[in-house]
Amino acid sequence: MALLEVKDLKVRVEEREILHGLSLTVNEGEVHAIMGPNGSGKSTLSHVIAGKPGYEVTDGQILFKGEDLLEMEPDERAAKGVFLAFQYPVEIPGVATMTFLRTALNAQRKARGESEYSTPDFLKKVREVSKSLNIPQDMLKRGVNVGFSGGEKKRNEVLQMALFEPSLCILDEMDSGLDIDALRIAADGVNALRSPGRAMVVITHYQRLLNYIVPDFVHVMSKGRVVKSGGKDLALELEASGYTQFEDAA
């Protein structure tokens, strides 16, 4: 059984159809890249998978581990193992990163029917994971993403991902606004989380990120459809030839 199966998905936002019958199959352990120009519907796809409100699914299906994902609330999806790292992580002033992580992690454990972490257990876990990702402890004391650099925000997303141990990670343009050093650090963090039981969907406009996170499969989106799929070399082809060749296909 596929981990994620998107079948002929049609999605509307404010009466306008954005995704026009999109299909995608992701198996455990695979890393898929989704590339495409601005406005092709990449973020829409990730938001619909995560359950962000405001999208109307008019046709098609999304199955996760064989279950109908569209029937589940966003927190239920997260508890089942879906994690979305946002293109623009939100700032939450007044809530320390540590507190946020603990609340979110315990809510998820509860939803999974697991017991909450005790304070010492949580601290031990978060220290261990942040250390492995080279995240300084003082970052955890600051308000969530408040005053964080672009690179720190992405590292914070990767930290959440590591703590939540999802089986499907969707990374929406994690390269946007990052310089090359920050990109490398964030990508190293993601690579450290690659495992046979976990799949990743890496959304990006540029080929550059895929030099660091090397995908097994590449899909090109244009105007709300997947117009081409291939191996990692497809990303290199795109870098050379651009997206305009797909405009007619869409």
Three-state DSSP class for residue 120:
helix
How far apart, in Å, are the Cα atoms of 55 and each of 12, 20, 231? Answer: 6, 13, 30
Does residue 222 touch ligand ADP according to CB under 6 A? no
Residue placing its CB nearer to ligand ADP in the complex, 42 or 228: 42
Can you tell me which of 3, 30, 44, 86 binds ligand ADP, judged by CB under 6 A?
A: 44
Does residue 93 touch ligand ADP according to CB under 6 A? no
- Rounded CA-CA distance 218/229 in Å is 6
Question: Segment near ligand ADP (CB under 6 A), from 12-20, 25-33, 90-98, 137-145?
Answer: 12-20
Three-state DSSP class for residue 105:
helix
Does residue 41 touch ligand ADP according to CB under 6 A? yes
Angle CA(133)–CA(103)–CA(153) in degrees, nearest 5? 40
The binder of 108, among ligand ADP, Mg ion, none, by C-beta within 5 to 8 A per type, is: none
Q: Please, what is the minimum distance in Å from the beta carbon of residue 10 to ligand ADP?
A: 13
Does residue 156 touch ligand ADP according to CB under 6 A? no
Cβ proximity of 61 and 4 under 8 Å: no
Residue placing its CB nearer to ligand ADP in the complex, 102 or 225: 225
Site residues for Mg ion per CB under 5 A:
38, 42-43
Q: What are phi and psi of 197, to 5 degrees?
A: -95, 5
Does residue 54 touch ligand ADP according to CB under 6 A? yes
- Rounded CA-CA distance 177/108 in Å is 30
Can you tell me which of 6, 26, 36, 49 binds ligand ADP, judged by CB under 6 A?
A: 36
User: Tokens in use for 84?
Assistant: 């979305």
Q: Please, what is the minimum distance in Å from the beta carbon of residue 116 to Mg ion?
A: 34
* CA of residue 10 relative to chain centroid, distance: 20
Does residue 43 touch ligand ADP according to CB under 6 A? yes
- Rounded CA-CA distance 234/219 in Å is 8
Binding site for ligand ADP (CB under 6 A): 13-14, 18, 36, 38-44, 54
